Amino acid sequence: MSAAWPYRYTSPLAQEVLTKEQIEFYEENGYLVIKDLISKDKIEAYDARFKQIVADPKERKSGITVMRDIALARQGIPANDERVCTKVQNWERDEELMKYCRDPALLRCVSAFTGNRGM
């Protein structure tokens, strides 16, 4: 970390969650990739649910909105293809997708940056 910038982006809790190398990398680069933090099975379930929401309007309960790229749709890509989706709004209203945000492993890593707020 540069001596000209005395502030740290990680919380003191980071030392309990991340390795020294991970902390240093984050402080220097501003991002961190933690492979296999979420199991492949869980990621596949979240991906499948995302695809359901994009493909089927009946799956969009509680005001979930799917934004689409009109230019791609005009190229002949079907509207229910996830490649046309540019944004899903109000996805937090879907219980399956919210499981990702509540995953204990993910929350533990987030605490390295935010501290132990409400955990």
pLDDT digits (tens, 9 = 90+) for 81-110: 888 889 999 999 999 999 999 999 999 888
| Ranges under pLDDT 70 in the chain | 1-7, 116-119
Give the number of residues written for the chain.
119
Place of tokens 């991970």: 22
pLDDT number for residue 33: 94
Which of these, 117, 63, 114, lies nearest to 88 by C-alpha position? 63
34 contacts: CB under 8 Å, gap ≥ 6: 22, 109
**What is the rounded (10 degree) CA torsion for 63, 68, 70, 72?**
-160
Please count the CA atoms within 13 angstroms of the CA of 95 that sit on its side-chain side: 0
pLDDT number for residue 4: 54
What is the largest distance, in Å, between two alpha-carbon atoms of the chain?
A: 55
pLDDT number for residue 73: 81
pLDDT number for residue 40: 95
**Are the beta carbons of 115 and 24 closer than 8 angstroms?**
no
Query: What ranges do the domains of the chain cover?
Result: 1-35+104-119, 40-102
pLDDT number for residue 117: 56
- Bridge partners (DSSP) of residue 85 are 68
